Homo-oligomer: A and B are copies of this chain.
Amino acid sequence: MITSKDNDKIKYLKKLKDAKFMKEEKKFIVEGNHLVLEALNAGILLETYSLYDNDYHCNNYLVSDSVLKSISSHKSVPDIIGVCKFIDEANDFGNKIIILDNVQDPGNVGTIIRSALAFGFTDVVLSLDSVNKYNDKLIRASQGMLFNINVVSCDIKELIHQLKSNKYDVYGTNVINGINVNEVNKDAKIAVVMGNEGTGISDDVKSLIDKNIYIKTSDKCESLNVSVAASIIMYELGGK
Protein backbone atom coordinates (compact mmCIF):
# COMPACT_ATOMS: atom_id res chain seq x y z
CA MET A 1 0.00 0.00 0.00
CA ILE A 2 1.25 3.46 -0.95
CA THR A 3 1.02 5.73 2.07
CA SER A 4 3.45 8.49 1.12
CA LYS A 5 2.36 11.54 -0.84
CA ASP A 6 5.95 11.81 -2.04
CA ASN A 7 5.80 8.48 -3.85
CA ASP A 8 6.81 9.01 -7.49
CA LYS A 9 3.56 7.55 -8.85
CA ILE A 10 1.50 9.85 -6.63
CA LYS A 11 3.53 12.87 -7.67
CA TYR A 12 2.91 11.87 -11.29
CA LEU A 13 -0.86 11.69 -10.73
CA LYS A 14 -0.87 15.16 -9.22
CA LYS A 15 1.03 16.51 -12.22
CA LEU A 16 -1.60 14.94 -14.50
CA LYS A 17 -4.07 17.54 -13.25
CA ASP A 18 -2.09 20.18 -15.11
CA ALA A 19 -3.55 20.71 -18.61
CA LYS A 20 -0.15 21.06 -20.29
CA PHE A 21 1.36 17.94 -18.69
CA MET A 22 -1.87 16.07 -19.45
CA LYS A 23 -1.44 16.86 -23.15
CA GLU A 24 2.23 15.83 -23.17
CA GLU A 25 1.45 12.49 -21.52
CA LYS A 26 -1.87 11.99 -23.37
CA LYS A 27 -3.37 10.82 -20.11
CA PHE A 28 -5.91 12.19 -17.62
CA ILE A 29 -7.43 11.13 -14.32
CA VAL A 30 -11.01 10.48 -13.28
CA GLU A 31 -12.37 10.29 -9.74
CA GLY A 32 -14.98 7.97 -8.27
CA ASN A 33 -16.46 4.62 -9.19
CA HIS A 34 -18.98 5.87 -11.73
CA LEU A 35 -16.41 7.55 -13.96
CA VAL A 36 -13.83 4.77 -13.51
CA LEU A 37 -16.45 2.27 -14.70
CA GLU A 38 -17.37 4.45 -17.68
CA ALA A 39 -13.66 4.66 -18.58
CA LEU A 40 -13.30 0.88 -18.24
CA ASN A 41 -16.30 0.32 -20.52
CA ALA A 42 -14.86 2.73 -23.05
CA GLY A 43 -11.55 0.83 -23.07
CA ILE A 44 -9.42 3.77 -21.93
CA LEU A 45 -8.72 2.83 -18.30
CA LEU A 46 -4.97 2.21 -17.73
CA GLU A 47 -4.64 1.81 -13.97
CA THR A 48 -6.40 2.60 -10.71
CA TYR A 49 -5.45 3.86 -7.26
CA SER A 50 -7.89 2.74 -4.64
CA LEU A 51 -8.58 2.03 -0.98
CA TYR A 52 -9.75 -1.46 -1.93
CA ASP A 53 -9.05 -4.28 -4.36
CA ASN A 54 -11.17 -4.24 -7.49
CA ASP A 55 -11.79 -6.35 -10.57
CA TYR A 56 -11.29 -3.71 -13.22
CA HIS A 57 -8.71 -5.86 -15.06
CA CYS A 58 -5.91 -3.32 -14.85
CA ASN A 59 -3.13 -2.53 -12.41
CA ASN A 60 -4.64 -1.40 -9.11
CA TYR A 61 -2.41 0.27 -6.53
CA LEU A 62 -3.72 0.24 -2.99
CA VAL A 63 -3.33 3.69 -1.44
CA SER A 64 -4.20 5.26 1.89
CA ASP A 65 -7.12 7.64 2.41
CA SER A 66 -4.74 10.58 2.91
CA VAL A 67 -2.94 9.84 -0.36
CA LEU A 68 -6.26 9.79 -2.25
CA LYS A 69 -7.18 13.03 -0.52
CA SER A 70 -3.94 14.64 -1.66
CA ILE A 71 -4.77 13.82 -5.31
CA SER A 72 -8.51 14.50 -5.33
CA SER A 73 -10.02 17.82 -6.48
CA HIS A 74 -13.31 17.06 -4.74
CA LYS A 75 -14.69 17.93 -1.33
CA SER A 76 -15.74 14.36 -0.67
CA VAL A 77 -12.72 12.23 -1.42
CA PRO A 78 -13.49 9.26 -3.74
CA ASP A 79 -12.60 5.62 -2.99
CA ILE A 80 -10.87 5.30 -6.33
CA ILE A 81 -9.00 7.31 -8.92
CA GLY A 82 -8.39 6.04 -12.45
CA VAL A 83 -5.69 6.96 -14.95
CA CYS A 84 -7.03 6.98 -18.52
CA LYS A 85 -5.48 7.40 -21.93
CA PHE A 86 -6.67 10.13 -24.27
CA ILE A 87 -9.54 9.13 -26.52
CA ASP A 88 -8.89 8.92 -30.27
CA GLU A 89 -10.59 11.71 -32.21
CA ALA A 90 -12.40 10.61 -35.38
CA ASN A 91 -12.24 12.85 -38.42
CA ASP A 92 -15.09 11.29 -40.33
CA PHE A 93 -18.07 13.04 -38.89
CA GLY A 94 -21.67 11.86 -38.70
CA ASN A 95 -24.77 13.76 -39.80
CA LYS A 96 -25.42 15.87 -36.70
CA ILE A 97 -22.60 17.99 -35.35
CA ILE A 98 -22.63 20.55 -32.54
CA ILE A 99 -19.74 23.05 -32.69
CA LEU A 100 -18.74 25.10 -29.64
CA ASP A 101 -17.03 28.41 -30.38
CA ASN A 102 -15.01 29.54 -27.36
CA VAL A 103 -17.36 28.00 -24.80
CA GLN A 104 -15.54 28.31 -21.50
CA ASP A 105 -17.58 26.85 -18.67
CA PRO A 106 -16.67 23.17 -18.17
CA GLY A 107 -20.12 22.48 -16.69
CA ASN A 108 -21.79 23.82 -19.82
CA VAL A 109 -19.59 21.81 -22.18
CA GLY A 110 -19.98 18.60 -20.15
CA THR A 111 -23.75 19.05 -20.10
CA ILE A 112 -23.83 19.64 -23.87
CA ILE A 113 -21.83 16.43 -24.46
CA ARG A 114 -24.28 14.47 -22.27
CA SER A 115 -27.27 15.92 -24.19
CA ALA A 116 -25.59 15.31 -27.56
CA LEU A 117 -25.38 11.59 -26.85
CA ALA A 118 -28.90 11.53 -25.41
CA PHE A 119 -30.43 13.15 -28.49
CA GLY A 120 -28.47 11.32 -31.17
CA PHE A 121 -26.03 13.99 -32.24
CA THR A 122 -22.96 12.28 -33.68
CA ASP A 123 -20.07 14.66 -32.90
CA VAL A 124 -19.15 17.53 -30.58
CA VAL A 125 -16.48 19.92 -31.83
CA LEU A 126 -14.62 22.33 -29.55
CA SER A 127 -12.82 25.37 -30.93
CA LEU A 128 -9.16 25.53 -29.91
CA ASP A 129 -9.97 28.36 -27.44
CA SER A 130 -12.78 26.45 -25.72
CA VAL A 131 -12.21 24.72 -22.38
CA ASN A 132 -9.91 21.63 -22.35
CA LYS A 133 -12.08 18.56 -22.89
CA TYR A 134 -10.28 16.59 -20.17
CA ASN A 135 -11.08 19.20 -17.53
CA ASP A 136 -12.24 17.42 -14.37
CA LYS A 137 -15.48 19.43 -14.03
CA LEU A 138 -16.29 18.88 -17.70
CA ILE A 139 -15.90 15.11 -17.38
CA ARG A 140 -18.08 15.09 -14.28
CA ALA A 141 -20.79 17.26 -15.88
CA SER A 142 -20.76 14.90 -18.88
CA GLN A 143 -21.27 11.99 -16.45
CA GLY A 144 -18.54 10.22 -18.38
CA MET A 145 -20.48 10.48 -21.66
CA LEU A 146 -17.36 12.21 -23.04
CA PHE A 147 -16.00 8.66 -23.47
CA ASN A 148 -18.96 7.54 -25.61
CA ILE A 149 -19.25 10.18 -28.32
CA ASN A 150 -16.72 11.67 -30.74
CA VAL A 151 -15.44 14.93 -29.19
CA VAL A 152 -12.90 16.76 -31.35
CA SER A 153 -10.81 19.89 -30.76
CA CYS A 154 -9.87 21.69 -33.96
CA ASP A 155 -9.81 24.94 -35.93
CA ILE A 156 -13.55 25.39 -36.37
CA LYS A 157 -13.24 27.93 -39.19
CA GLU A 158 -11.45 25.38 -41.37
CA LEU A 159 -13.98 22.77 -40.33
CA ILE A 160 -16.95 24.96 -41.28
CA HIS A 161 -15.46 25.48 -44.74
CA GLN A 162 -15.10 21.71 -45.14
CA LEU A 163 -18.60 21.00 -43.86
CA LYS A 164 -20.14 23.50 -46.23
CA SER A 165 -18.35 21.96 -49.21
CA ASN A 166 -19.60 18.58 -47.97
CA LYS A 167 -23.21 19.82 -48.17
CA TYR A 168 -23.86 20.28 -44.46
CA ASP A 169 -26.38 22.93 -43.44
CA VAL A 170 -24.27 25.00 -41.02
CA TYR A 171 -26.39 27.04 -38.61
CA GLY A 172 -25.57 29.76 -36.15
CA THR A 173 -27.88 30.76 -33.31
CA ASN A 174 -29.49 34.15 -33.70
CA VAL A 175 -33.04 35.49 -33.63
CA ILE A 176 -32.22 37.87 -36.49
CA ASN A 177 -32.66 36.16 -39.86
CA GLY A 178 -33.31 32.97 -37.96
CA ILE A 179 -35.45 29.93 -38.63
CA ASN A 180 -37.50 28.60 -35.70
CA VAL A 181 -35.71 25.42 -34.57
CA ASN A 182 -38.86 23.37 -35.05
CA GLU A 183 -39.01 24.34 -38.73
CA VAL A 184 -35.46 23.26 -39.63
CA ASN A 185 -35.08 20.38 -42.11
CA LYS A 186 -33.99 17.53 -39.83
CA ASP A 187 -33.21 15.13 -42.64
CA ALA A 188 -30.28 17.20 -43.88
CA LYS A 189 -26.70 16.91 -42.68
CA ILE A 190 -26.60 19.53 -39.94
CA ALA A 191 -23.91 21.40 -37.98
CA VAL A 192 -24.95 23.96 -35.36
CA VAL A 193 -22.51 26.51 -33.90
CA MET A 194 -23.03 27.72 -30.30
CA GLY A 195 -21.13 30.78 -29.07
CA ASN A 196 -19.35 31.91 -25.93
CA GLU A 197 -21.47 32.37 -22.78
CA GLY A 198 -21.01 36.13 -22.70
CA THR A 199 -20.19 37.26 -26.21
CA GLY A 200 -21.85 34.69 -28.48
CA ILE A 201 -20.37 33.47 -31.74
CA SER A 202 -17.14 35.28 -32.67
CA ASP A 203 -17.26 37.65 -35.64
CA ASP A 204 -14.92 35.68 -37.88
CA VAL A 205 -16.93 32.50 -37.38
CA LYS A 206 -20.20 34.41 -37.84
CA SER A 207 -18.99 35.63 -41.22
CA LEU A 208 -18.85 32.01 -42.44
CA ILE A 209 -22.45 31.24 -41.47
CA ASP A 210 -25.42 32.15 -43.61
CA LYS A 211 -28.27 30.46 -41.75
CA ASN A 212 -29.45 30.91 -38.18
CA ILE A 213 -31.66 28.99 -35.80
CA TYR A 214 -33.65 30.54 -32.98
CA ILE A 215 -35.64 29.14 -30.09
CA LYS A 216 -38.92 30.91 -29.39
CA THR A 217 -38.87 32.59 -25.98
CA SER A 218 -40.97 35.07 -24.06
CA ASP A 219 -40.19 38.81 -24.35
CA LYS A 220 -39.43 38.76 -20.62
CA CYS A 221 -36.29 36.68 -21.05
CA GLU A 222 -34.82 36.22 -24.49
CA SER A 223 -31.54 34.56 -23.59
CA LEU A 224 -30.96 31.02 -22.43
CA ASN A 225 -28.02 29.29 -20.81
CA VAL A 226 -25.83 27.94 -23.64
CA SER A 227 -26.14 24.31 -22.51
CA VAL A 228 -29.94 24.68 -22.38
CA ALA A 229 -30.08 26.29 -25.83
CA ALA A 230 -27.79 23.63 -27.33
CA SER A 231 -29.78 20.84 -25.68
CA ILE A 232 -33.12 22.11 -27.01
CA ILE A 233 -31.68 22.40 -30.52
CA MET A 234 -30.29 18.86 -30.31
CA TYR A 235 -33.60 17.62 -28.83
CA GLU A 236 -35.40 19.06 -31.88
CA LEU A 237 -32.88 18.07 -34.55
CA GLY A 238 -31.13 14.96 -33.26
CA GLY A 239 -31.55 11.43 -34.50
CA LYS A 240 -32.69 10.06 -31.13
B-contacting residues, A184-240, CB 8 Å: 215-218, 220-225, 227-228, 231-232, 235, 238, 240
Count the copies.
2
CB distance from A199 to the nearest CB of B (A): 14
Cβ-neighbour of A111 out of B120, B217, B228, B235 (below 8 A): B228
A218-B115 Cα distance, complex, nearest whole Å? 10
CB distance from A141 to the nearest CB of B (A): 7
CB distance from A237 to the nearest CB of B (A): 13
Check A224/B107 contact, CB under 8 A, given A232-B231, A232-B232: no
CB distance from A233 to the nearest CB of B (A): 11
A119-B222 Cα distance, complex, nearest whole Å? 9
A118 touches B231 (CB 8 A): no
CB distance from A121 to the nearest CB of B (A): 9
B-contacting residues, A134-149, CB 8 Å: 141, 143, 145, 148-149
Cβ-neighbour of A225 out of B149, B222, B227, B240 (below 8 A): B227
A131 within 8 A of B: no
A229-B72 Cα distance, complex, nearest whole Å? 30
A114 within 8 A of B: yes
Name, among A111, A148, A238, the residue most crowded by chain B CB atoms within 10 Å (CB to CB): A111
Name, among A117, A141, A232, the residue most crowded by chain B CB atoms within 10 Å (CB to CB): A232
Residues of B with C-beta under 8 A to A118: 217-218, 220-224
* A107 nearest CB neighbor, chain B only: B107
Residues of B with C-beta under 8 A to A232: 231-232, 235
CB distance from A96 to the nearest CB of B (A): 11
Residues of B with C-beta under 8 A to A143: 221, 223
Residues of B with C-beta under 8 A to A111: 225, 227-228
A-B contact pairs, 27 of them (CB 8 A): A107-B107, A111-B227, A114-B224, A114-B225, A114-B228, A115-B224, A115-B228, A117-B220, A117-B221, A118-B218, A118-B220, A118-B223, A118-B224, A119-B217, A120-B218, A141-B225, A143-B221, A143-B223, A145-B221, A148-B221, A149-B220, A217-B240, A218-B238, A227-B228, A231-B231, A231-B232, A232-B235
